[in-house]
Amino acid sequence: MTEPVRLAKRVVALAQCSRREAEQYIEGGWVLVDGQVVEEPQFMVDTQTVELDSAARLIPTEPATLVLHKPVGYDAGNGPNPASVLVTPETRSPDDGSGVRPLKRHLQRLTSPLSLPTDASGLLVFTQDWRVTRKLTEDIDRIEQEFVVEVSGEIIPNGLALLNHGLRFNNYAMPPIKVSWQSEQRLRFAFKVLQPTQIEPMCNAVGLKVLAMKCLRVGRIPLAKLAPGQWRYLAPGERI
C-alpha cells in the first residue's frame, strides 16, 4: 500500500526539480492528477497518476485583475447580495481575449476597490493586485469614469450647464465634469473626483429623475460587449 505524499514531492521526483519549482508548476496549473488540474502543492496523492503538462513553464503566478458586467441588484462591496458571487468559472466570457490562463486561485480573495450603486449596472473591477487597489483608491481622482444615465422629466433652463459646472450641495461646489445628451432620455457623464452616488442627486437638482445608470468605462478599460453577469480578465498589457 502506497503511503500518501504531498503533490509537490511527487512533482519533484517527476520533473527532477527543486521543491519551490515544483510548487510553481502546481500553482501555475501545469500539474494534472488523474487528468484533473490540481493547484494545491499540499494536495495528498498516493496511487493517482501525476502528469506535468508538456507546455509547463516556470513563471511566477501573478495576481489577477478582472472586470465584471454587474447587473442591477448586486452590491459592489460586501452587501447582502454581493456581485462577487457572479465571478465563477462558468460566467467567464467566451470572448475573453486576454490570453490569461484561468486558474482557480484567480477567483479567490478578490476585492472591489470602486463603488457602484446596487441599482446601477455596468463595469466593476475585481482584483488581487495591491497596485490596482491603490490606483483605484488613492489615485482615483485622476481616473475618468464614464456613465450613461437614463432619465425622465424636463430639465430646468440652463440645467445642462449646471450639471457640467455650477451645482452646489451643502455649500460645496461640485467639480467640473462633462455631461452631454446622447438622446432625449439619455445623458452621458464623464468625470473624475465625483462619486457615482452623486449622479442621482445632481440630476434631481435640475428636474430629472434617474431611471437607470450604467458604468461604461473606468480609465482606459471599457465595458464594451461584455454581457451582463459575465466577466473577463484584464490582459497583461491593459492599463487602467
Mean pLDDT of the chain: 92
Give pLDDT, residue 117: 95
Residues 180, 148 share a domain: yes
Q: 240 in a domain, yes or no?
A: no
Q: The domain that contains 20 carries what CATH number?
A: 3.10.290.10
Residues 48, 97 share a domain: no
C-alpha 151/C-alpha 116 separation (Å) is 18
Residues 194, 79 share a domain: no
pTM for the full model? Answer: 0.83
- Which residues, 6+ apart, have CB-to-CB distance to 74 below 8 Å? 81, 82, 83, 85, 86, 118
Q: 59 in a domain, yes or no?
A: no
C-alpha 239/C-alpha 22 separation (Å) is 31
Q: Which helix (H) or strand (E) holds 232?
A: strand 231-233
Residue 1 pLDDT greater than 80, yes or no: no
Give pLDDT, residue 98: 93
Residues 150, 136 share a domain: no
Q: Which of 176, 163, 175, 166 is nearest to 208 (CA)?
A: 163
Q: 60 in a domain, yes or no?
A: no
Q: 57 in a domain, yes or no?
A: no
Percentage of the chain with pLDDT > 90? Answer: 63
Q: The domain that contains 171 carries what CATH number?
A: 3.30.70.1560
Give pLDDT, residue 163: 96
Percentage of the chain with pLDDT > 70? Answer: 99
Q: 225 in a domain, yes or no?
A: yes
Give pLDDT, residue 96: 95
CB 72, CB 120: distance < 8 Å: yes
CB 123, CB 145: distance < 8 Å: no
Residues 75, 41 share a domain: no
Domain that holds residue 175: 144-218
C-alpha 62/C-alpha 88 separation (Å) is 19
> Which of 10-19, 146-155, 160-169, 172-181 is most confident?
146-155
pLDDT tens-place string over residues 137-147:
999 999 999 99
Give pLDDT, residue 23: 85
Residues 34, 10 share a domain: yes
Q: Is 59 exposed, middle or buried (0-12, 13-18, 19+ CB in 10 A)?
A: exposed
Q: 88 in a domain, yes or no?
A: yes
Q: What is the tally of structural domains in the chain?
A: 3
Average pLDDT over residues 33-45: 85
Residues 111, 225 share a domain: yes
Q: 90 in a domain, yes or no?
A: yes
What's the distance, CA 33 to chain centroid?
A: 31
Residues 14, 48 share a domain: yes
- Helices H / strands E in the chain, number of each: 5, 15
Residue 73 pLDDT greater than 70, yes or no: yes
pLDDT tens-place string over residues 76-111:
988 899 999 999 999 999 999 998 989 988 998 999
Give pLDDT, residue 83: 96
Q: The domain that contains 110 carries what CATH number?
A: 3.30.70.580
pLDDT tens-place string over residues 164-221:
998 988 888 888 999 999 999 999 999 998 999 999 999 999 999 999 999 999 999 9
Residues 179, 73 share a domain: no
Residues 227, 135 share a domain: yes
Residues 198, 88 share a domain: no
Residue 223 pLDDT greater than 90, yes or no: yes
